């Protein structure tokens, strides 16, 4: 089934001073998985917003045809009626409604003038089972894990009976098992004639599951590749505009003595007082070392480092730096001890979106850029300009607001904020999640350079290739306990997963 269902012809979209899409032509076939790859800012999301009706037809030039019929979408409702369903990385659901209510939001009338709850919940079960979400229709969405919320958003899209399903980073918050369930579903939908358009920075899943790959860069389509003609090196080069010999830079420098020792850390569960989410965990990290922390979602990885940083309380445990016991009760104590944490949820607690780059970079260094409570804009600009240049942040200047930057550049700003504090210990929680391959490589280079200067780095990652390539040593957690510690030379994906799934 290779007939064309979607044509986007000569799409050009401009914002003040920026040509976001430049004469883009793209086709999608009935019954295929089409992946669109490119760095952040390449135009992928803008193109999908054009397709979804988020940008009205009169705000761009070019045309959209579905089954040969020209479409003029004024809003997203018209796009949905034409059979297009969008699943965004940022969930857009009502947390205080039930799962069933969210699945059929905007379409409750189909269950009668007086809402037939039993009928709606029965219908919801069918779609919940289809995506493998393992939740009850009556469950309030706020009480459901983020990964299951993502699956429910996919179920909601399917409940609208689309012909074209657009998935923007659908596996960013899913476990490996949930991702496998999702791709099994996508392949089943493909066999039934659905068209799936996938946007993902995870090249491994793109190569495994795509029928075709379209590469975008700087608002243009660079190339399209049929299955059987995929070359990771060639596609990465097209995405970033240059060749990258290997995605992971070689590590230089030697590893020294232990800088940080964490002993017998126990952290109470944030939602259930009867449980501990981390129990009796001990580890150390050495000067110039990148210590990776692996494990499944819910293993206690983030809770462990947040307890070390003072964001979460701990029931027991000691933290020593260079042989001295630290009293860390809050993040301010950790910062004074030269410990920095780049959190997993950068949008929630990594930066202030309405503030500029310079202001965000200096958030943790306000005492150093002023006197007597008065900030020096001159010092702020000098300090932030240095990191702006060193980390190659893509923006017109240091005053650009964070909410206008790509995810990768936002992450660089958050990293700069902590590097400005000159920490001895840098903790990175999922540092490349949702970041394009070119920016990933730049962040890996920064990590290698920092380690070569003697900084001790702790990195949590759910991406096994990243964990294996970047870590000198890997600590694996399972159900809040240390399941094993593996040296780089002995680490394989199979062994790490075997440890991570220990019961």
pLDDT reading at 90 higher than 50: yes
Output the DSSP codes for 149-181. Answer: HHHHHHHHHHTT--SEEEEESTTTT--HHHHHH
* pLDDT above 90 as % of the chain: 49
Average pLDDT over residues 410-421: 89
The predicted structure's pLDDT at residue 394 = 83
Q: Determine the structural domain holding residue 321 and report its residue range.
A: 246-338+424-434+450-503
Q: Quick check: 436 and 408 in contact, CB under 8 A?
A: yes
Last residue of a domain, one of 240, 262, 279: 240
Confidence of residue 92 (pLDDT cuts 50, 70, 90): confident
Give the CATH number of the domain where residue 271 resides.
3.40.50.300
Classify 234 as helix, strand or coil.
helix
Task: Please say if the pLDDT value at position 180 is more than 70.
Answer: yes
Whole-angstrom distance, CA of residue 413 vs CA of residue 360 = 7
In a domain, 100, yes or no: yes
Q: pLDDT tens, 27-83?
A: 999 999 999 998 777 889 899 999 999 999 999 999 999 999 999 999 999 999 999
- Given a cut of 70, is residue 12 above it in pLDDT? yes
Whole-angstrom Cα distance, residue 22 to residue 382? 36
Tell me, yes or no, whether 440 lies in a domain.
no
Q: From 7, 170, 174, select the one nearest 87 (Cα to Cα).
A: 170
User: Are the CB atoms for 303 and 270 separated by under 8 Å?
Assistant: yes
Q: Could you read off the pLDDT of 240-250 as tens digits, one per residue?
A: 776 666 778 88
Count of the separate structural domains present in the chain? 3
Residues 223 and 84 in one domain: yes
pLDDT at 493: 84
User: Is 441 a member of any domain?
Assistant: no
pLDDT at 223 over 80: yes
So what's the pLDDT on residue 243? 64
For the residues 207-221, what does the mean pLDDT come to? 93
Residue 503 predicted with pLDDT over 60: no
Per-chain mean pLDDT for the chain: 88
| Domain assignment present for 128 | yes
In this structure, the answer to whether residues 430 and 418 fall within a common structural domain is no
Tell me the whole-structure pTM to 2 decimals: 0.66
Q: How far apart are CA 97 and CA 116, in angstroms?
A: 16
Q: Is 422 exposed, middle or buried (0-12, 13-18, 19+ CB in 10 A)?
A: exposed
- Same domain? For 365 and 404 the reply is yes
Tens digit of pLDDT for each residue in 272-331? Answer: 777 899 999 999 999 999 999 998 777 899 999 999 999 999 999 999 999 999 999 999
Check pLDDT > 50 for residue 238.
yes
H runs (alpha helix) in 117-241: 117-131, 146-158, 176-191, 203-209, 232-240
From the number of C-beta atoms within 10 Å of its C-beta (0-12, 13-18, 19+), residue 209 rates as buried
**What pLDDT was estimated at residue 280?**
96
Q: Of 218, 217, 200, whose CA–CA distance to 209 is shortest?
A: 200
Q: Is residue 344 part of a domain?
A: no
Q: How much is the pLDDT for 244?
A: 62
Q: Which residue has the tokens 């943790």?
A: 364
What integer pLDDT is reported at residue 2 of this predicted model? 57
Considering only residues 267 and 344, tell me which one the structure prediction assigns the higher pLDDT.
Answer: 267
Q: How many helices (H) and strands (E) does the chain have?
A: 17, 22
The answer on 269 and 135 residing in a single domain is: no
Non-local (6+) Cβ contacts of 149 within 8 A are 91, 93, 141, 173
Residues 66 and 184 placed together within one structural domain of the fold = yes
In this predicted structure, what is the pLDDT of residue 166? 94
Same domain, 414 and 303: no
Report yes or no on 345 lying in a domain.
no
SS3 373: coil
Q: Are residues 48 and 165 in the same domain?
A: yes
Give dist(CA 486, CA 453) in Å, integer.
24
Q: pLDDT tens digits for 365-405?
A: 878 777 767 777 888 888 889 889 888 888 888 988 888 88
> Do residues 366 and 469 share a domain?
no
DSSP one-letter string for 439-495: HHHHHHHHHHHHHHTT-EEEEE-S-HHHHHHH-SEEEEEETTEEEEEEEGGG--HHH
Same domain, 486 and 388: no
Residue 368, in any domain of the structure: yes
Instruction: Write down the pLDDT at residue 113.
Output: 83
Alpha-carbon distance of 324 to 326, in angstroms, equals 6
Same domain flag for 323 and 272 = yes
Q: Among 240, 262, 278, identify where a domain stops.
A: 240
Checking if the pLDDT of 436 tops 90, the result is no
Calculate the CA 315 to chain-centre distance: 31
- The mean per-residue pLDDT over the stretch 211-230 comes to 92
Confidence of residue 98 (pLDDT cuts 50, 70, 90): very high
Q: Pull the structure tokens for residue 202.
A: 């995870």
Q: Which two tokens stand for residue 499?
A: 């440890």
Task: Say whether both 48 and 9 belong to one domain.
Answer: yes
Q: Which of 217, 240, 263 is the last residue of a domain?
A: 240
Task: Name the token pair of 22.
Answer: 């430049």
Residue 172 lies in a domain: yes
Reduced DSSP (H G I as helix, E B as strand, rest coil) percent helix, strand, coil of the chain, to 5: 35, 25, 35
DSSP string, 311-326: SS--SEEEEEETTEEE
Q: Note whether 14 and 20 are within 8 A (CB).
A: yes
More reliable by pLDDT, 247 or 503: 247
One domain, residues 404 and 463: no
């Amino acid at each position: 089934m290779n007939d064309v269902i979607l044509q986007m012809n000569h799409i050009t979209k401009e914002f003040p001073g920026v040509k976001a899409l430049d004469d883009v032509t793209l086709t999608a076939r009935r019954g295929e998985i089409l992946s669109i790859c490119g760095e952040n800012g390449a135009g992928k999301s803008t193109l999908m917003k054009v397709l979804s009706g988020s940008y009205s037809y009169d705000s761009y030039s070019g045309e959209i045809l579905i089954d040969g019929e020209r479409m003029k979408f004024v809003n997203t409702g018209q796009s949905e009626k034409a059979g297009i369903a969008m699943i965004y990385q940022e969930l857009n659901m009502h947390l205080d409604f039930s799962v069933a209510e969210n699945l059929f939001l905007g379409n409750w009338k189909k269950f009668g003038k007086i809402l037939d709850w039993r009928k709606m919940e029965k219908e919801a079960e069918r779609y919940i089972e289809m995506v493998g979400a393992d939740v009850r229709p009556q469950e309030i969405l706020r009480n459901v894990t983020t990964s299951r919320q993502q699956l429910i958003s996919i179920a909601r899209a399917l409940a609208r009976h689309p012909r074209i399903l657009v998935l923007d980073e659908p596996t960013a918050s899913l476990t490996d098992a949930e991702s496998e369930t999702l791709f099994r579903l996508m392949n089943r939908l493909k066999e039934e004639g659905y068209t799936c358009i996938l946007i993902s920075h995870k090249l491994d899943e793109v190569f495994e599951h795509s029928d075709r790959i379209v590469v975008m860069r700087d608002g243009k389509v660079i190339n399209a590749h049929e299955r059987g003609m995929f070359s990771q090196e060639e596609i990465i080069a097209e995405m970033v505009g240059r060749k990258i010999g290997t995605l992971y830079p070689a590590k230089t420098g030697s590893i020294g003595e232990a800088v940080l020792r964490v002993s017998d850390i126990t952290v109470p569960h944030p939602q259930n007082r009867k449980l501990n989410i981390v129990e009796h965990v001990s580890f150390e990290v050495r000067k110039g070392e990148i210590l990776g922390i692996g494990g499944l979602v819910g293993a206690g990885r983030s809770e462990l480092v947040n307890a070390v940083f003072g964001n979460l309380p701990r029931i027991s445990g000691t933290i020593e730096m260079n042989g001295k016991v630290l009293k860390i009760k809050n993040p301010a104590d950790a910062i004074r001890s030269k410990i920095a944490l780049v959190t997993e949820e950068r949008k929630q607690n990594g930066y202030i979106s309405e503030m500029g780059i310079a202001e965000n970079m200096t958030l943790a260094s306000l005492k150093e850029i002023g006197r007597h409570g008065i900030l020096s804009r001159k010092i702020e600009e000098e300090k932030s300009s240095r990191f702006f240049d060193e980390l190659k942040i893509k923006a017109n200047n240091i005053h650009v607001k964070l909410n206008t930057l790509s995810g990768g550049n936002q992450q660089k700003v958050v990293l700069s904020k902590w590097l400005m504090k000159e920490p001895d210990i840098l903790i990175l929680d999922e540092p490349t999640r949702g970041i394009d391959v070119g920016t990933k490589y730049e962040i890996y280079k920064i990590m290698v350079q920092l380690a070569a200067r003697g900084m001790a780095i702790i990195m949590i990652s759910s991406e096994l290739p990243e964990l294996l390539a970047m870590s000198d040593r890997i600590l694996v957690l399972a159900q809040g306990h240390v399941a094993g510690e593996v040296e780089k030379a002995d680490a394989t994906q199979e062994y790490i997963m075997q440890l991570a799934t220990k019961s």
